[in-house]
Amino acid sequence: MAHITPLRDGKSQKNADMMLVHNRPETTIANEDTNGPSHAHTSMEQTLDKSLKASLAKLTAGLSPIALSAAYADWALHLASSPGKQLELVEKAGKKAMRLSKYAALCSTRPDASEPCIMPLPQDRRFQKEEWQKWPYNIMYQSFLLNQQWWHNATTDVEGVTQQHENVVEFAARQILDVFSPSNYAMTNPEVMAQTVRQGGMNFIRGWQNFTEDVARASTGKKPAGTEAFEVGRNMATTPGKVVYRNRLIELIQYAPSTDEVHPEPILIVPAWIMKYYILDLGDDNSLVRYLTAQGFTVFMISWRNPSAEDRNLGMDDYLSLGVMDAIDAVDTIAGGQKIHAVGYCLGGTLLSIAAAAMARDKDDRLKSLTLLATQTDFTEAGELMLFINDSQLSFLEDLMWDQGYLDTKQMAGAFQLLRSNDLIWSRIVHDYLMGERTPMIDLMAWNADATRMPYRMHSEYLRHLFLKNDLAEGRYRVNNRPIAISDIRVPVFLVGTERDHVAPWHSVYKFNLLSDTDVTFVLTSGGHNAGIVSEPGHPRRHYRVRETSKDDAYTDPDRWMGETPPVTGSWWPALSNWLAEKSGKKTKPPRMGAEGEGYAPLCDAPGTYVLQE
């Protein structure tokens, strides 16, 4: 990979009038890793192969049938050669049939005294209502859960099957079984039947209207129903500020101070580029930006441009140089050389970690602290996303991106929905189409519908070098053809994980402690990848755990850490604010808005123009 060294004294190239995006000459550079994809010249034969696989990928939503077939072949062949495992499964099937028969017999005589023969998993809320405990629905859902448990037994612990293939087969079996859950069909769902009786079938009329509206919106590229009530610049992303820098990849927003005095050290937030930046500036009451400015901080935020096919060759090096390093140059100039509190969220946090490690290697000391929100730097335990990460799957996905020039928002959304199909697919079908009700749109859901694309080269490099090969954690990731190491980072780190994160599982986030050689304050907050971060003071049913670990302390494994760290009721935002304040100087006059004489003249009002791109 070709990367750009972040240099302290070298300012980034600016456009003459700062109103146009500067066009850095694009270079198509072959990946130095011979095992990875080449972004150089494609031969006629390679074009034929890529075109064929790209066409197939459009039919399979980017999922490789070859990768899935390989996983199933591995499992099926090993199961076929394991007669002991087969006998075990036959025995389990017989026992489960007897348990279900006994339960059904007891329900026919003592329906109120019969204990279920199997309980749903804690995260499975489909069968919680009282209606499911009555005949015949109790028999239906108990049968389904026993069948689900048997298939889990059948697809796991087959000796000789590789771990990833086992995970893929188990996941696929679960997805197939969920299609046939009794909760998904009107005649076998007592809640739907009760609603139908109460409303005389009008729920199906409304459900059909909801369905046709959703199909029409999807076919015309419109956002989901209800998002019209949320508009960027009107009731979302409304914190006052100015765009003070723009290049072909980012706009940098400087937010106006809301206090008479501010800490001298500015905050620079690097959000993920997979979605729009304003998850951290949603509404007036749940904006992290607005909260930090109210605590006396000067806040800057990167707003990423939504790439198109012409940006296919933008790579991780471009996101590092044009994104993080250009922003640091600008903040450094505007704040008069004050050291910077850098904050990164999700992919933005991973990129910020790369920048911080490269800066530490090169003796660039402009960072004061590092805050990483739901950020992974070691990808060995990256959750169920790893189901889609192997050479076969990535090659398939790369050919799809090669054809389009980017990964489309719908293709990304489909993968994330599969990871939580019960919550994001089937529960919505039941609620919106069978019950005939609409879940009220909220700002977080509206933001989630405002996705962005991912450039071909960048996403390929990101998946291969970080997810597949774990180069960053293992010291092989290169910036300017020299490796970097997380252990070179010496500034204090505030690290946040969320309890129910399916994108960046908190055990994976916690692995930063194994890689670092600095003081780390780890926070584990309630909620998921997004809702756990947007956790403003006053938000109901929120809690968090927090503990600081010195670089000289012995390592504590994550489960022990959780057991030894008591929960604190409320939002973790004040803990972050207090931590930043402790590492900041005494408050003084706010800095200037931009620096016109030095190439950072204010260009337009926040939220800028890039965030409005479709």
CATH assignment at residue 566: 3.40.50.1820
Mean pLDDT of the chain: 88
Q: Flag whether 61 is in a domain.
A: no
Report the 10 Å Cβ neighbour count for 50: 18
**pLDDT tens digits, 472-529:** 999 999 999 999 999 999 999 999 999 999 889 999 999 999 999 999 999 999 999 9
Claim to verify: residue 500 and residue 584 sit in the same structural domain: yes
In a domain, 405, yes or no: no
Residue 354 inside a domain? The answer is yes
Tell whether 386 is covered by a domain: no
In the prediction, which pLDDT does 198 show? 96
Domain boundary among 169, 199, 229: 199
User: 372 and 516, same structural domain?
Assistant: yes
Rounded alpha-carbon distances, angstroms, from residue 546 to 22, 434, 526, 557, 571: 43, 43, 12, 15, 11
pLDDT at residue number 20: 35
Q: Which residues of the chain have pLDDT under 70?
A: 1-42, 54, 57-62, 111-113, 409-424
Q: Are residues 166 and 275 in the same domain?
A: no
Name, in order, each residue with C-beta under 8 angstroms of 406's C-beta and a sequence gap of 6 or more. Answer: 307, 308, 309, 311, 312, 453, 454, 455, 456, 459
- Do residue 261 and residue 160 come from a single domain? no
Token pair of 176, please? 């197939």
Pair (289, 191) in one structural domain = no
Q: State the total domains in the chain.
A: 2
Task: Examine the domain organization and report whether 151 and 249 are in the same domain.
Answer: no
Q: Is 345 helix (H, G, I), strand (E, B) or coil?
A: strand
Q: Do residues 488 and 376 both lie within one domain?
A: yes
179 in the same domain as 292 = no
pLDDT at 415: 58
How, if at all, do strands 267-270 and 299-304 pair? parallel
Which residue among 183, 199, 215 closes a domain?
A: 199
How far, in Å, are 83, 87, 96, 275 from residue 90 at the CA level?
Answer: 10, 5, 10, 47
Question: Do residue 184 and residue 323 come from a single domain?
Answer: no
Q: Clarify whether 346 is annotated catalytic.
A: yes
Tokens 């499911």: give the residue. 132
Domain assignment present for residue 2? The answer is no
Confidence (pLDDT) at 413: 59
Distance (Å, whole) CA 132 – CA 38 = 55
Q: Which residue range is the domain that position 318 belongs to?
A: 241-380+470-612
**Tens of pLDDT along 450-476?**
888 889 899 889 989 999 999 999 999
In a domain, 418, yes or no: no
Query: Backbone dihedral region of 471: left (phi > 0), alpha (psi from -120 to 50 degrees) or beta?
Result: alpha
Report yes or no on 216 lying in a domain.
no
| Same-domain check for residues 245 and 179 | no
Judge if 594 and 476 occupy the same domain: yes
The dihedral over CA atoms of 284, 288, 290, 293, expressed in degrees to the nearest 10, equals: 170
97 HSE (CA, 13 A, CB side): 6
Predicted local distance difference test score (pLDDT) of residue 521? 98
Residues 492 and 369 in one domain: yes
Cα separation, 544 vs 536, whole angstroms = 12
Cα–Cα distance measured from residue 411 to residue 406, given in angstroms and rounded to the nearest whole number: 10
Phi-psi region of 232 (alpha: psi -120 to 50; beta: other; left: phi over 0): beta
The model's pTM: 0.87
> Is residue 307 in a domain?
yes
Angstrom distance (rounded) from CA 158 to CA 175: 20
d(CA 247, CA 249): 5
